[in-house]
Amino acid sequence: MLIGVPAEVKDNEFRVALTPAGAMDLTGGGHQVVIQAGAGRGSGFFDEAYAQAGARIVESPEEAWSADMVLKVKEPLTEEFERMRGEQVLFTYLHLAAEHECARQLRERSVTAIAYETVTGPKGLPLLAPMSEVAGRLAPQVGAYHLMQSQGGSGLLIGGVPGTRAAKVVVIGGGKAGEQAAMIALGMGADVTVIDLNIERLRELSVMSSGGVTTLASNTLTIADEVAAADLVIGSVLVPGATAPKLVTSEMVARMRPGSVLVDIAIDQGGCFEGSRPTTHAEPTFSVGEQIYYCVANMPGAVPHTSTSALTNATLPHVFALANKGWRQALREDPHLANGLNVHAGEIVYPPVAEALGVDAPSLETILGR
């Protein structure tokens, strides 16, 4: 199969969908790989390394997009829509519940779109997990930075020093990203609370942190009280494929201390704070009243070398399955990979995305011919 890897065009997105090591494995397996020139530079992977791995370097994005299967990191943007074509397989993060125009273009162009974030596994979402880990670990770091008075924050050191108080960090959502955020914040010396609906998950987090993290069952009153007392709130609520629920209202935020910071990891899915709107690495924050919002929609893009390697590690077995067997047979044989199918033949296939977009989803069994 001819596999194409274009350069990402999203603002300050330095990740690439495939490492040279991954390209070598694919070419060694009998597939052809074309990489747009410079696609890996931002991640520290240069054209020479890809060429040595057996990939062919192409100058234009159109050449990279001419492949049978296109691997990307982020959803296609406006300038890429015209490069998509019917019967092409697109394998990338899509987050279509929050990307209505991209969903429309994929449907109109009859692309077979498989989303990393809805592929399942025996223990959750294996292709989302590495980026959730990266975003979760980054969240306290960027939160601590924006708490500095030079960045408009309250001037609080997240871990404090003896004789002063540590920052109160509230993590809403105890999944993979929330877990990582809580553990990093705890390691930085913060006073950490995690809020989640799943009591069993809260037990796991309590044991994992040796009781260092306070765990609270989620309800509106608890969220309101904890947000009001927080210096840093990290939102990491995920409903796979669907729009994130707005759990933190603007009224709750208004009760926070001036210079408090909110980091919305869920912004790819629309955000879990009422006041959230997507931002970029170039302009990562905005203020509402006296509080600071950080809502960068591609947080892992800030550390592209780590993120690209972690992403390739997770996606490559699925890329091989799709390339070796064809997408339809690969999905027939692997129900977890089949859950990644979001768009095919002009229809939204994944039910939560279809519901978010107000359309009906056809039967997956009908599409795969089971």
pLDDT for the residue 106: 97
Grouped pLDDT means (10 residues each) for the chain, 370 residues: 96 94 98 98 97 98 97 96 94 93 96 96 92 96 98 97 98 96 98 97 97 97 98 92 90 98 94 96 95 95 95 97 97 96 95 92 86
Which among 147, 149, 139, 226 is positioned nearest to 176, based on CA atoms? Answer: 139
Assess contact for 113 and 81: CB atoms under 8 A. no
* Residue 31 annotated in active site: no
pLDDT digits (tens, 9 = 90+) for 78-99: 999 999 999 899 999 999 988 9
Alpha carbon distance 54, 25 (integer Å): 9
Active-site entry in 25, 231, 264, 268: 268
Contacts 24+ apart (CB under 8 A), 212-218: 212/186, 213/182, 213/183, 213/186, 215/174, 218/172, 218/247
> What strand order describes the sheet that includes 112-115?
56-58, 32-36, 2-5, 69-71, 89-92, 112-115, 341-344, 347-348
b/e 206-225 (16+ beta carbons within 10 angstroms → b): eeebeeebbbbebeeeebbe
Assess contact for 194 and 178: CB atoms under 8 A. yes
pLDDT for the residue 157: 98
Beta bridge partners, 214, equal: 193
* Residue 11 annotated in active site: no
pLDDT for the residue 370: 58
State how beta strands 261-264 and 291-294 pair. parallel
pLDDT for the residue 243: 85
Beta bridge partners, 169, equal: 192, 232
pLDDT for the residue 64: 98
Alpha carbon distance 285, 139 (integer Å): 13
Active-site entry in 95, 146, 318, 344: 95
Which distant-in-sequence residues (6+ apart) come within 8 Å of 322 by Cβ?
Answer: 1, 69, 89, 91, 114, 330, 337
Alpha carbon distance 45, 272 (integer Å): 34
Which distant-in-sequence residues (6+ apart) come within 8 Å of 262 by Cβ?
Answer: 232, 233, 234, 235, 248, 253, 273, 275, 276, 291, 292, 293, 294
> Tokens 């959730």 sit at which residue?
132
